[in-house]
Structure 1
Amino acid sequence: MHELQTQFATQEGEDAWNAVMHEHFHSGQLGEAQAYLVSQLETLGTELATRCLIDDPDRVSITGWYELIEAIELHEGEPITGVTLAIANEADRAFEKGQVHYPYMLLGLYSDEPFAFSCADSAAMIGQALDEEGPAWAGYDEDIEVFLECEGLSAINTALVHHKERHFFRDDAPEHAPARYVEYVLACWWRALLFHRAVEKICAQKPLPHNVPVLAGMVDMKPEAVAVHGFVEGARPAVRDENEGPQMAEMLPSSMITRREVAEVKEPPTGVDLRRRVAESAEVEQPAKKSLMARIFGRG
């Protein structure tokens, strides 16, 4: 029996495990998360687990990035200082056998007007994205059309859409979770990892102008993992034409500037500590959340 079948026997156990995984993504520790997921998938050894390991991060890529760079450089309005990027499935997707499901991408480009991306660190951006009321930048995305695609996710995404055990009901207090349910949870995290590693790679290979950070996530798609990519420590001042006047933000009285406190993100656990942290994690009451569509893009 796989160790996570016992861990997931209770909702509290599964929630604790997911919390540790989210912490790895929030802290940018994708390498450790990948190594751990590989070991768990190898131990599970099911057909889908093997399918996941075939779809390694090198097989997933983001296309249209040069167009995004050009759009940021040529934008004539306030300088772009933050980008949000997410994958999602079509809401009316068909479930016929043999139907392939390609996730599509959602893109948002923002200036410092609604939220000071140029001065924010990763913790502040993630804190905003997870805010129950939605992020400060919701509804303020610039009217710029750029089309990106994430290639290489269709196989695992289709397998997850058609998976037969996407839910686990614990009405009878079972002693362990079904192996197929554990398979589904691990595969969902692997899909998230593939997407985030693709964004991480493209940001490293082709940084956006002026080191604009990318807040990446998933819309109505488990596990709704969020991470910041392309982040550079310190302020990233928005570059403006030297002939332009001061930014409006400099002219606003301090009473019009609202700051939100964001909980500090703790240092991520190491790969060695992962199992211990999961086992020791206490039950955390999870408040009802809006769709990630609303939290990141302020829509839906």
Structure 2
Amino acid sequence: MNHPAFVHIPDSRTEGVRSYCEPATPHPLQLTFLTEEGERQWVDRLRGHIVAARLDAADRMIAEALAPFEGRIAKLAKIASADDVALEGWEDLMPILAEHEGPAITAITVGLTNEPDLVFDGTDEHEPTLVIALYSDDSFAFSSASRDALLAECLSDNPAFAGEEEDVEFYSVLTGLAALNTALIQSKHRYYLRDGRDGVEGRAPGGYCEYVLGTWVRALRFLQALERAADAHGLPEGARLVAGTFGLHTDFASLMREGEAPLNAQPAADIAPVATLTMKKWEPKHDPLADLYSPGSSDSGSSLRKRVVVDEGEPVVAAPPAQAVTEIAEPSEATAEPKPGLIARLFRRLRRA
């Protein structure tokens, strides 16, 4: 149907949506997930590998649990190779930051999520969305915060650095997960209530187990792609790279990179010596007018201060030239001092002020 208002909703009999063919013998993960405690322990173990950035260990754990499943999500998860998932545009990060005139970037957060209401769009496949933000220590002490404190702040409901991103125009997209991501969006096996209405007995529903595994495969492939991009194109010196997911059933935060040279962890031996600050002894600024009043100067005051004849015809002799000002000091009481000239009086006034 081509009507623009038409919304396609997958039928419940579509494989991987509601319909699921249970195996004759339950798989090991179905027995592990039979109880809430068993599921929690398994997920916590996997999340521990992810948060600690032990991606190879997480990959092996997922692959072992996923191997016997053969449903729609399991098939898509198996063919979602790490080599086929990539972050496009990450190579632009360093050139963009080279022109950044703001404070030094000390943290980059990369979150994986989905746009809302995609479940109603069954006609297209959807890649997960990346949410990238760059921060400086002006908003939070990223450089000095411990690993646990930083991750706890990232997972809090209202992080201290929320809304304090640096004004840097940088975009990157994740590719290679559209098929798996769309299958997870459309799946109706998102919950296992354990109330007797799940349609199976003595095991966890296979569809639910596949959904959980699929969400962790999506998260793992994202982290592997981010790790490769950071290795290939680099990060700002001293910047910490934090990655995670939200709204995807696998919410977590992982410190992927500590930074090649953390700003507050530079060894003392590597710090360049600082030049000693020296100060020149203060001397009064040379007054060019003082030369005019110097007795030994060729341009003495006598050549400039000529006799002035007043209206009555009585000559007025100019005042004797003032001594050159060489330093600002109180004259000796025993020394007779001629009447100071204009420049000398100004210096004295400034000194007393």
TM normalised by structure 1 equals 0.73
Structure 2 residue ranges without an equivalent (≥5): 1-25, 266-353
| Equivalent position of 1:190 in the other structure | 217
Q: 1:103-142 maps to which residues of 2 (within 5 A)?
A: 103-131=128-156, 133-142=157-166
2:84 to 49, 59, 80: 59
**Which letter maps to 1:46?**
G
Provide the identity percentage: 34
Q: 1:233 to 1:121 in 2, by over 3 A?
A: farther
Q: 1:19 to 1:234 in 2, by over 3 A?
A: farther
Deviation at 1:178, TM superposition (A): 0.5
**Which letter maps to 1:162?**
Q
SS in 2 for 1:175: coil
| Equivalent position of 1:10 in the other structure | 35
2:109 to 55, 59, 84: 84
| Equivalent position of 2:228 in the other structure | 201
Deviation at 1:210, TM superposition (A): 0.5
Matched, 1:156 2:183: no
Q: Which has the larger radius of gyration?
A: 2
Deviation at 1:94, TM superposition (A): 4.5
2:59 to 24, 28, 34: 34
Matched, 1:22 2:22: no
Task: Describe the superposition over 1:164-184 as per-residue Cα deviations: whole angstroms up to 9, x where unpaired.
Answer: 311111123953210111011
| Equivalent position of 2:68 in the other structure | 43
| Superposition CA RMSD, Å | 2.2
Higher helix proportion, which one? Answer: 1
Contact 1:86–1:107, Cα closer than 8 Å, also in 2:
yes
Q: Which range moved further: 192-201 or 39-48?
A: 39-48
1:177 to 204, 209, 228: 204
Q: Residues of 2 paired with 1:94 and 1:88: CA distance?
A: 14
SS in 2 for 1:107: strand
Q: Which range moved further: 72-81 or 23-32?
A: 72-81
Q: Residues of 1 paired with 2:149 and 2:259: CA distance?
A: 14
Deviation at 1:70, TM superposition (A): 2.3
Deviation at 1:72, TM superposition (A): 2.3
Q: 1:167 to 1:102 in 2, by over 3 A?
A: same
TM normalised by structure 2 equals 0.63
Q: Residues of 2 paired with 1:137 and 1:216: CA distance?
A: 15
Q: Residues of 1 paired with 2:259 and 2:147: CA distance?
A: 9
Contact 1:26–1:126, Cα closer than 8 Å, also in 2:
no
Contact 2:119–2:185, Cα closer than 8 Å, also in 1:
no
Q: Residues of 1 paired with 2:119 and 2:60: CA distance?
A: 34
Structure 1 residue ranges without an equivalent (≥5): 239-300
Matched, 1:168 2:192: yes
